[in-house]
Structure 1
């Protein structure tokens, strides 16, 4: 089995050297099939995820040829992995996959399947409060910001709810983190302000929106400082 995996990686990298002539559907479907199998996932999870980041999702030709349903299958699979991290996966590579998928789907104006991702990000942010490695935390928040920006037009209400749900967690991260992580948190808070109060409007009649106004108004003092 290890020989087969090594052959697969060599094939992908050889294909890239020949101007990316491989079938993107076959590549991604194989990776997802391996990661959905409990036995093969334990062995190849980390290496296949790194391969996906470095040699597949970083290749423009592959991304332009990726079918919509495959993007959505990939985001659902890795959203679940991100929300429930295990030792088999390199967490930085996992969140890089999420970030790259959101980025490419936004560029292509492709409809992102967002359903479970909101819950996945709530779980991930809450888990991130105890994350000690600043690099991992930075990538998690960068992925969250990319996701929010990619679905803002179609999911404003859900994003408002997400922001109100994880506000305390994000504030805790901001208080205890290094500068580059704080920057990601500030970017997220600014984005939430724009969602709730576009162009600075205050009232709902003017276009302001919140999932729960009581919760949102409780954060007002912090946002005035911000």
Structure 2
């Protein structure tokens, strides 16, 4: 072993000293040695050949140092501002050393053992004290150094994928640490993508997670980034599992649409709205594969009354109201020509209109724009569908084609001849 590696080995051996001053002195020397190019090259060579002092051996010494520092911080009882400030600085120092070491070791290719690194990060996060002290650092390592590494991505075991997924889903749903929700949502999205490919995911757990977190969209403030990542994760899950979970996903959609329309109105960012549109298009495909209209043809809903109420609401909000706004903006800006719609938006509008206007027993509100009510309605041609807690009287729609013509005329006027079907 070279003189440089002998010196580094000596510092590693002293990192788990019971004396605070000794650990402080040797961690500084430890960092200096690792900043020397010759030491890094020798560690790389030994790690590649699997003999001598390796990056993994040095990592184990660093873990011992962290555990000693955590134990020391837990024992400190001072509550003065000076004492608390000192503890915060020590936490920051220890966390930064850990993150710095991981990137120093892996910046020329992954040298650290994936299983050991992941085990240490999860151990830190699951502990009440270290989870709060080093949660942000651990999330940064998972997000930037583990999940974005192709080598590590392939090396994570099935059980580790499931453990990661359950831990971070719970952390995002019921946050108890000071970790950024934006970061947690990005991690959940990447972990779910990996778990669906590399592991057997517990679908019941994931369905419960999404149902719970979507129900909180109305009551809890979340950034557009968090909402986008949650919906992106949900859409990935649906796309992967739709063939096996049609009934469960239809029920999830029926339970979630009101909350997602709240998201549509609240968040104006294109990325969030795009994820909502993707979700709704997949719900249309699940409920009405290939555009079928009736249950006999293959349509399915957990509750058709609820689902048809959602379709009518989607028509109001996403077809008529949104396209009217587009036409208004076009007029105010003095733009000549038609407003450009995304293909996915047009396809969703066409699917919704097809289901509302093609059913022989379709119903629509008196005030529904573009719907032609039968003015000679009899008592047995009326329906009552609960919307927003109150019963709204519905009138029978003429299915002879007149309603289609009215809607075609309205959309042609509102969107300068842009017709989705």
Asked if TM exceeds 0.5, the reply is yes
Correspondence for 1:96 among 171, 182, 186 = 186
Name stretches of at least 5 consecutive residues in structure 1 with no aligned partner: none
1:42 aligned onto 2:144: no
How many residue pairs were aligned? Answer: 225
Which of 148, 162, 165 matches 2:238?
148
1:190 to 263, 281, 301: 281
2:104 maps to what in 1? Answer: 14
Q: Equivalent residue for 2:157?
A: 67
What is the CA–CA distance in structure 1 between the aligned matches of 2:166 and 2:244, rounded to whole Å? 18
Deviation, structure 1 residue 94: 0.9
Decide which of 161, 169, 173 is 2:263's aligned counterpart: 173
Q: Which has the higher helix share?
A: 1
Q: Which residue of 2 aligns with 1:124?
A: 213
Shift of 1:172: 0.9
Give unpaired runs (5+ residues) of structure 2.
1-69, 71-90, 320-348, 350-421
Classify 1:14/1:135 alpha carbon distance in 2 versus 1 (closer, same or farther; 3 Å): same
Aligned equivalent of 2:37: none
- Separation in 2, partners of 1:16, 1:208: 52
Instruction: Pick which of 23-32 and 1-10 moved more.
Output: 1-10
TM-score for the superposition, normalised by structure 2: 0.49
* C-alpha contact 1:102 1:150 (8 A) present in aligned 2: no
| Larger RCO, structures 1/2 (Cα 8 Å, 6+ apart) | 1
SS at match of 1:128: coil
The Cα of 1:204 is off from its aligned counterpart by: 4.0
Deviation of 1:64 after TM superposition, in Å, equals 0.9
The answer on 1:220 being equivalent to 2:319 is: no
Q: Which has the larger radius of gyration?
A: 2
Is the alpha carbon distance of 1:30 and 1:152 closer, same or farther for their aligned partners in structure 2, counting shifts above 3 Å?
farther
- In the alignment, which of 293, 299, 306 is matched to residue 208 of structure 1? 299
Match of 1:83 in 2: 173
Alpha-carbon RMSD across the aligned residues, in angstroms, is 2.2
**CA distance 1:193–1:54, shift in 2 (3 Å):** same
Deviation at 1:53, TM superposition (A): 1.0
Once the 2 structures are TM-superposed, how far is the Cα of residue 33 of structure 1 from its aligned partner? 1.7
Q: 1:206 to 1:71 in 2, by over 3 A?
A: farther
Runs of 4+ in 1 over 6 A off after TM superposition: none
